[in-house]
Structure 1
């Protein structure tokens, strides 16, 4: 699961311009948020074997009912997804009723005893449903909700259970059944569970009458609230930063997103206010002049260094001019290959140019330069990307390690590391590796063709 991409989406929805572009626009919401969230979960919406868009969801496929997405893994349906325009209320019974119909019809198509889930999303909330209360009948209430505006590290851990790499339909369904049982019995405190608590307490010599159960329910609730507060307190103590922690290391994803959003906004504001290039020190001075100290979210003892790192690596439309100490300027155009290559030494540039020449010979290849990397596409799909560094080139591929013939075992599986750069990597350091690398690139090209 690509947590970096999820954090990026969480940052974007904080901007009014981004949100307003999707209000009452389902297609835009799907493109800008839902498609990307599915991508973060490992589902390639462009791959028909993984995602069927506008999939037939009519009774025995006789009719015009279509669900927005059907997601598959190894040929098995794992989820259907219904999309709505950004921030549309998902409490609408008409919406959930339609989703229930799709689920029931898909159950008939996929055989009654198969397990799959239903997701309902407005780009902000991702609600997961299943048939936990009654087999083959979709519950009216979701058993898990992921909200881009308000999520925790535990929510991310739970969301990962639905990712392409991790999903196990039976185990997730069983987890949902357990969760629903806890909700129905513990959180809502059913009389049966109250009797169980009384029996396990010191009240074993008393008859468990309905009157006694009702009498002790308030006390049991108070006990659970106390236990819950202790659990929360222990978690808070465990999550406190150690003295050796790096800046922002202990922030949760929402907090990290807010910190990154502040730096991006404030640095762009500083650069926009000047017609000249600015050093990191000058950008920091402008930020200090505009914002009170308490509004600047940083634990970094060297904020100038942080400004420099943000400009160099984190913000797409900023260009560094010259050598250290660099000056920075806002870019108004897309990145060119020449602008990227000018940051690297001649040996790395030559290594890049040699491999690029052979990549372009594959045919029908488009080059896509971006600030962090240069990727190459076939049929509008990335099949290889090159991250240039001062001593090597990191080569990344979207296909997984298992899809390659890699006799020398040189590929690195990065699918679980949330790097945001494909699922597989290869370190290209010398021209001696060129032939082997080319064999991997050709395989990726064929897979993505």
Structure 2
């Protein structure tokens, strides 16, 4: 089962169970351990997933982090868990202490629904105050799933994750800033646009007006973009439906005659000396009855033109150019046995 499907199943389970989960311990077992398992780590193997991992700090002994994922005898990810009802920001300092003494490059703070991944981009061996990856498992997007996949046991690479973490961290912060500015534009943000479109003096009153105008302008811009995408998607869908209708109409005009089916049987009888019958495939069209090798348009064996006033068999030379030969009845197809078998031989040499 692919990662996205497993995460979706866990999200559904969380939505069903969370109101019945009361304690931190229950949160771990119902929400966090399944997530670790989805990442490919054996939660029943104490050499791979260590519960209550010791993280002694100086003279303070017996400090433990909830889980540590171990690779080659060393922790690669430490995990601190909280009750799903608790907010995570309050607990950063605790994980910060654990991070320093365990020598890991990654730390995860989670309440089973919200996940915050940390590393040491700002200062080596010192956990950054802000996560480089943050999400809620109940509302995952494809780009986030791609980042989660990097922590899977089958693809875990410390250097690859760290090199990408910096970009993730800043993109995440930029997205937050954009959201804040669109919700409540700052003076600096409004002034950026006011300077470009307003030639008068930017008084306090003018700036208040522009903050409102900038917000409305951006909302309208985003709305237009969404509508354009929807129109494009609907137009594409409509075109696909029209193409399907046209194809269906064309197919409905095709009427395979008994004579064409009998002729096909003759061709099969000739070619089965070199080919299994399963590889000799017929495909009727409005203008001719085609016979193909392996149902491949690029490998025509012959074409039968039997519905007009005169009857023809279309044979193919080495250049795959059709050469029509007149026939009186379908029994005349036997006269072209040599040419048909040579066509097969040509494909066998490719």
Q: Normalising to structure 2: TM-score of the pair?
A: 0.50
Q: Which has the higher helix share?
A: 2
Q: Rg larger in 1 or in 2? A: 2
Q: Normalising to structure 1: TM-score of the pair?
A: 0.40
Tell me which of the two structures has the higher relative contact order, counting C-alpha pairs closer than 8 angstroms and 6 or more residues apart: 1
